[in-house]
Structure 1
Amino acid sequence: MSTSRRTVLAGATAGAAAAAGLAGTGTAYAAASPTGHSTTGHSPSRELFGRLADGTKVYRWTIANGGTRLKVLSYGGIVQSLEIPDRHGAAANISLGFDNLDDYVAESPYFGALIGRYGNRIAKGRFTLDGRSYQVPLNDGPNSLHGGDKGFDKQVWDVEPFSRGSDRGLVLRRISPDGEMGYPGTLKVKVTYTLTARGDWRIDYEATTDRATVANLTSHTYFNLAGEGSGSIDGHTLEMAAARYTPVDATLIPTGELARVSGTPFDFRRAKAIGEQARTPHEQVLYGKGLDHNWVLDKGSTSAPGYALTLTDPGSGRVMKMYTTEPGMQFYSGNFLDGTLAGTSGRLYRQGDGLCLESQHFPDSPNQPSFPSTVLRPGSTYRSTTVHTFSAR
């Protein structure tokens, strides 16, 4: 990771952690307890999932380990299915998605996709780097979202499976050429999906460039721990180690403020039901038609994955914890699901039927000098890691 990528709002994040009384929430991933799942792993396998209009084949890869089963498409690096057991040992797919390639191409709201070059929003699609101005596509009203209208989520990735010791996984690679979606530099990207012997899902991102550029990679998986197609996530509880968040304007661009969550619907320092927070008449909630904001994680940027959050479904008993090296977490409560998309179960997805937890740098960082930098330069390597652990209680 380059020095610029490690720049942290040290005073703000340390002060926020102290104010929240969360000194212990920076616990590294290695300290997490095992899930108790079976440690049986199987070599990755693939099958043809469909063909693009130009005839390009798209494959679906399946990896299984430690009681977790992951199905990934070569198109968009999409997580098409993520199966984990409940408190009774019954497995269910907890990610939203489609059962066919055409829907992913035509109308997917980033279901399960890898996001790049820049995850989240850039105001007016403009930024200046080393004195030169760049314009990237406007695909979210007046702003650019998730890398533009043909970002990494709409590209076919090269996929290589691996079985390494007790780990099973996939390495996804692609080269984003200089000028793709208006971004400078040829960006060589490698993303590794790993399932460990205890069923944890780890994502490692790496990228290098031959020209100064900006990079902010993430995963856009929609979760419903009760099971895909089961209904609302309002009853899920969320705990997040974040005493501040970044308020936005009416177009969902950060104002630059690091606001305290205390006394707002953004306070998840203790576990709270998502529905209680996402349905309040707070101005910021109204802007996003629910929660669609970046939380400033108390731990800041870290070299090893540190604790970020715990998501729980009381009904099934499923629990997901996230650890990350990233300083921010975009929490999106599925506000724009409108009952028009049918998922893998055949059921229509309505508002709040899934949620996203996107570990990343802050939105619009290229235009916010006080935010941690997303600049990547030749000779430096972009590195980021996020780990999802699963259990049931």
Structure 2
Amino acid sequence: MNIDKRDINGKWNEYTLTNQHGMSVSVLDFGGIITKIMVPDRNGNIENVVVGYKDYSEYQQNPNYFGAIIGRVAGRIQGAAFELNGETYHLAANNGENHLHGGPEGFHQIIWQVTPFEKDAEVGLELKHTSVDGEAGYPGNVDITVTYTLTNDNQLVLAYEAKSDQTTPITLTNHAYFNLSGDLKHTIKDHYVTLNSSKFVELDEELIPTGKILNVEGTSFDFRGGRVLGDGFNDHFEQNKIADSGYDHYFIFDQTNEYSATVLDPESGRVMTVTTNEPGMVMYTSNSLGEELELAERSSCKYLGVCLETQASPASLHHQGFPSVVLKAGETYQKETVFSFMVED
């Protein structure tokens, strides 16, 4: 097990965690950004399975949120406002008239305090930040700890903890774009995904939840038995069309299986499972990713990565029946998501 630290442009630090099987995860203190995850394919070739910039200075803006911690609230908040305990709070509108991923100065834009740690069978990083009352328009002083742990079982564990002195919305996630082909050799069109979800959230033209929860049965959103992502890269189903011929939707987990999600790249043999105590996740298939970005291995393009953003639903701030994002004063927010990597023969 090993932890390396290197200076980036005299401004940031990048930490690389390596286990005894050669798997490694690289993380910036800026935004808690995962820059690389190196894992073997079925032939033992160790390659990167996340999307990242070639020039690290590009992370300063990072409009696609590559690899970053997202907060206070992951996702879109309708009208950049919400009501809580009879009071209306106004947030920055950075996605049309709506608030997206904590606003323009969200957790993806801060330098986290990082403490590395090493144990017998794991290495990791503890990232801390205090979000002050009124930051981005949210109430309460919130102490946040995000822990990245790499185990010798080729698991990356993301643990989130937060406490606030006022009741406030919070749901944290990581915005890594996964591509199991290795070094971005192919798009994710043929990635075979299984989701433990029979319901998803309907979106309007602005990608804001309408308040309706739809059944996946008979649609390209039914991943319960597994299907390739390319099934949804078309305009045949209205909800795929709204998401620019892809997916950008919240799936509510059925909570009956060991894994909430499984992703397989048949060519490389890489398999990634997702296990979480979150009630659901947004699956985003990089539908709006253009061709102008210079990434670590190639130029960017549509469908180059899939984000599996485990979280509660910000739609709960405006509609009944959605997993709540509200953390009460004095209570502890504790969530965990485990990404496990293996290969299929």
Q: What TM bracket, shorter-length normalisation? A: over 0.9
Name the residue aligned to 2:82. Answer: 127
Name the residue aligned to 2:264. Answer: 312
Q: Secondary structure at the match of 1:255?
A: strand
1:329 equivalent in alignment to 2:284: no
Q: Output aligned runs, 1:55-134, within 5 Å.
A: 57-65=11-19, 66-134=21-89
Extract structure 1 runs of 4+ deviating beyond 4 A: none
Paired with 1:285 and 1:166, the residues of 2 have a C-alpha distance of 42
Q: Write the letter of the residue equivalent to 1:167.
A: E
Residues 252-282 of structure 1, C-alpha deviation per residue, up to 9 Å, x if partnerless?
Answer: 1112222100111101011111112222421
Paired with 1:205 and 1:241, the residues of 2 have a C-alpha distance of 22
Q: Write the letter of the residue equivalent to 1:235.
A: D
Residues 175-219 of structure 1, C-alpha deviation per residue, up to 9 Å, x if partnerless?
Answer: 111111101111110000001111100000000011111001000
Q: CA RMSD in A?
A: 1.3
Once the 2 structures are TM-superposed, how far is the Cα of residue 154 of structure 1 from its aligned partner? 0.6
Q: Write the letter of the residue equivalent to 2:338.
A: V
Name the residue aligned to 1:181. Answer: 136
Paired with 2:226 and 2:170, the residues of 1 have a C-alpha distance of 32
Match of residue 381, structure 1, among 323, 328, 332: 332
Contact 1:215/1:374 (8 A) holds in 2: yes
Higher-helix-fraction structure: 1
1:240 equivalent in alignment to 2:189: no
Paired with 1:378 and 1:276, the residues of 2 have a C-alpha distance of 44
Once the 2 structures are TM-superposed, how far is the Cα of residue 87 of structure 1 from its aligned partner? 0.1
1:296 equivalent in alignment to 2:247: no
Paired with 2:62 and 2:163, the residues of 1 have a C-alpha distance of 31
Once the 2 structures are TM-superposed, how far is the Cα of residue 306 of structure 1 from its aligned partner? 4.9
1:108–1:255 CA distance, 2 compared to 1 (3 A): closer
1:222 equivalent in alignment to 2:181: no
Q: Secondary structure at the match of 1:257?
A: strand
Contact 2:196/2:253 (8 A) holds in 1: yes
Residues 296-347 of structure 1, C-alpha deviation per residue, up to 9 Å, x if partnerless?
Answer: 10018xxxx95201100001000000000001110001101110111111x1
Q: Report % sequence identity.
A: 38
Match of residue 281, structure 1, among 230, 236, 241: 236
Once the 2 structures are TM-superposed, how far is the Cα of residue 249 of structure 1 from its aligned partner? 0.9
Residues 210-246 of structure 1, C-alpha deviation per residue, up to 9 Å, x if partnerless?
Answer: 1111001000000100023313110111000100101
Paired with 1:306 and 1:167, the residues of 2 have a C-alpha distance of 22
Paired with 2:234 and 2:184, the residues of 1 have a C-alpha distance of 21
Number of equivalenced pairs: 342
Paired with 1:97 and 1:219, the residues of 2 have a C-alpha distance of 14
Name the residue aligned to 1:264. Answer: 219
TM-score normalized with structure 2 length: 0.96
Q: What are structure 1's unaligned runs of at least 5 residues? A: 1-40, 52-56
Match of residue 302, structure 2, among 325, 333, 351: 351
Contact 2:105/2:136 (8 A) holds in 1: yes
Paired with 1:152 and 1:374, the residues of 2 have a C-alpha distance of 16
TM-score normalized with structure 1 length: 0.85
Paired with 1:83 and 1:108, the residues of 2 have a C-alpha distance of 24
1:342 equivalent in alignment to 2:294: yes
Q: Secondary structure at the match of 1:364?
A: helix
Paired with 1:254 and 1:315, the residues of 2 have a C-alpha distance of 35
Higher-strand-fraction structure: 2
Query: Higher RCO, 1 or 2 (CA under 8 Å, sep at least 6)?
Result: 1
Contact 2:166/2:330 (8 A) holds in 1: no
